[in-house]
């Protein structure tokens, strides 16, 4: 591995480490009195303002409208990869451990592979044609069964409060949202560029979260936002995790390739686990630990090329 590529591998590792920490940051914000909806809204507002600044500095396209058909696709992306994804993920963190959420959301590549297999065979047009060819081989079948078994162990761990199951199921819902997002985002990025496509996702994510803001006004009070742990974590989530990491990840994808880059995502829950143990004092039961290991192994196995 040359030195030029090594620095991009290290950059990929840094980005995934940051994304792993975000689960803990969100958990801290919820504990400080912030509503999951407010966390998403503030995070995306900062990222949206930041990406417009980045657009101006780099001379990217500032076009606002791409026709009804394309805007509807961007709307779907804003919902599945923005408002609904973070709504389910952030709400899950209010009910269950950050580590559980991270491992369950890590199953998104598995659902993506399954959805891609179905859509590739049944769909038509540029979105279906642009998807990666997925073969129904033993890696996908075995990995799916193993990961689903792991999810069952985590969700139905009898040694935890029953209330935690709601958070675990919401985390799986977030993974399903991201899988839907992954079906269309690649083609839209190819057609319009990563910066423009992501800017549109930020916009529609913010637009579709507005109906949920009515009951979370207390989260915007000076008493809540004035806390050091609140504004510092929000700045981290909005500017570092959402904006800087997006730009860095695009650079990694360009230099290392899509397949090599995505493998680093499997380390995301590991960083969450380590951070949660240090800052939140979270611990796992043996059954939940076995379940998390099964999820991680199953997702990696399913991601291998089948014959």
Confidence of residue 128 (pLDDT cuts 50, 70, 90): confident
Pairwise pLDDT comparison (268 vs 15), residue with the higher score: 15
Q: Does residue 307 lie in a domain region?
A: no
Alpha-carbon dihedral sign for residues 67, 73, 75, 78: negative
Q: Does residue 214 lie in a domain region?
A: yes
Q: What is the reported pLDDT for 261?
A: 65
Q: What is the reported pLDDT for 160?
A: 53
Would you say 44 and 202 are in contact if contact means Cβ atoms under 8 Å apart? yes
The per-residue DSSP string of 220-275 comes to GSHHHHTSHHHHHHHHIIIIIIIIIHHHHHHHHHHHH-HHHHHGGGGGHHHHHHHH
Hey, how many other C-beta atoms are within 10 angstroms of the C-beta on 142? 16
Q: What is the reported pLDDT for 2?
A: 55
Q: Does residue 297 lie in a domain region?
A: yes
Q: What is the reported pLDDT for 307?
A: 41
Would you say 268 and 21 are in contact if contact means Cβ atoms under 8 Å apart? no
Per-residue model confidence as pLDDT tens digits over 3-47: 667 788 888 889 888 988 998 999 899 999 899 999 999 999 999
- Structural domains counted in the chain: 1
Q: Does residue 209 lie in a domain region?
A: yes
Q: Does residue 194 lie in a domain region?
A: yes
Q: Does residue 62 lie in a domain region?
A: yes
Helix runs in 94-227, H state only: 98-105, 108-122, 126-129, 138-155, 163-192, 194-209, 222-225
Cα dihedral 93, 36, 184, 176, rounded to 10, equals 30
Q: Does residue 182 lie in a domain region?
A: yes
Alpha-carbon dihedral sign for residues 303, 242, 164, 175: negative
Structural domain span for residue 180: 3-302
CA distance 268 to 103: 8
Per-residue model confidence as pLDDT tens digits over 44-97: 999 999 999 988 888 888 899 999 999 999 999 999 989 999 999 999 988 888
Instruction: Look at residue 264 and tell me whether its pLDDT is greater than 80.
Output: no
Q: Does residue 239 lie in a domain region?
A: yes
Mean pLDDT over each residue of the chain, to the nearest integer: 83
């Amino acid at each position: 591995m040359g030195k030029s590529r090594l620095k991009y591998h290290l950059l990929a590792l840094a980005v995934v480490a940051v994304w792993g920490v975000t689960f803990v940051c969100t958990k801290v914000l919820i504990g400080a009195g912030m509503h999951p909806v407010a966390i998403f809204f503030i995070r995306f507002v900062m990222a949206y303002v930041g990406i417009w600044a980045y657009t101006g500095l780099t001379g990217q396209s500032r076009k606002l409208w791409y026709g009804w058909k394309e805007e509807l696709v961007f709307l779907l992306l804003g919902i599945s990869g923005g408002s609904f994804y973070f709504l389910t993920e952030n709400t899950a963190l209010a009910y269950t451990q950050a580590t559980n959420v991270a491992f369950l959301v890590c199953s998104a590549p598995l659902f993506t592979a399954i959805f891609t297999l179905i859509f590739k065979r049944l769909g038509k047009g540029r979105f279906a044609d642009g998807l990666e060819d997925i073969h129904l081989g033993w890696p996908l079948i075995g990995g799916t069964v193993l990961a689903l078994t792991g999810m069952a162990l985590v969700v139905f761990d009898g040694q935890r409060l029953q209330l935690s199951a709601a958070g675990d199921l919401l985390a799986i819902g977030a993974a399903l949202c991201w899988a839907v997002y992954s079906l269309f985002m690649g083609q839209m990025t190819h057609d319009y560029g990563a910066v423009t496509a992501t800017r549109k996702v930020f916009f529609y994510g913010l637009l579709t979260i507005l109906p949920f803001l009515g009951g979370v006004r207390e989260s915007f009070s000076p008493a809540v936002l004035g806390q050091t742990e609140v504004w510092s974590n929000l700045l981290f989530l909005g500017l570092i995790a959402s904006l800087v990491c997006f730009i860095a990840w695009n650079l990694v994808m360009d230099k290392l390739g899509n397949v090599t880059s995505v493998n680093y995502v499997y380390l995301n829950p590991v960083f969450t686990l380590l951070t949660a143990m240090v800052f939140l004092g979270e611990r796992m039961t043996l059954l939940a630990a076995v379940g998390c290991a099964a999820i991680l192994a199953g997702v990696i196995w399913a991601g291998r090329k089948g014959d």
